Amino acid sequence: MSIQGFMKQTIEIRGKVSNNVKSTCKGLINALSARDIYTSAQRNITADYALYVNADTQVNTNDVVFCKGQSYDVVFVMNPMSQNMFLKVYLRSVK
C-alpha cells in the first residue's frame, strides 16, 4: 500500500531554532477530531493535527512544519507499525 497519491500539499520543514529550511516534500495534513486528538501523559504532549509524509522524510520534534502559510510545531513522530511506509507526524498549530 502506498499513500503517495494522497500527498498533495507542499510541506516545508524548518529547524525550530535556526529557522533554516531542512527539506521540502509532499504531504497531507489532517485535523484530528475531538475524539482522535492525540494526548500522551507519558510524553506530556497534545496534538491537534496529523501530517503524513514518506518514511524517508527527515523530521523530528526540533522542527516546525509550514504549509499554506500556517506553521505547526512537531510534537511527536511515529512510524506506524514500524513498516517504514510513511511517517505520522503529530502537530500543534502555532498561533
pLDDT in tens, 39-84: 665 666 678 899 999 888 999 999 999 998 899 999 989 888 788 8
- Rounded CA-CA distance 40/78 in Å is 13
Give residue 28's pLDDT band: very low, low, confident or very high (50, 70, 90).
confident
| Lowest mean pLDDT across 5-9, 44-48, 90-94 | 5-9
CATH code of the domain made up of 4-93: 2.40.10.270
Mapping DSSP to helix (H, G, I), strand (E, B) and coil, where does residue 6 land?
A: helix
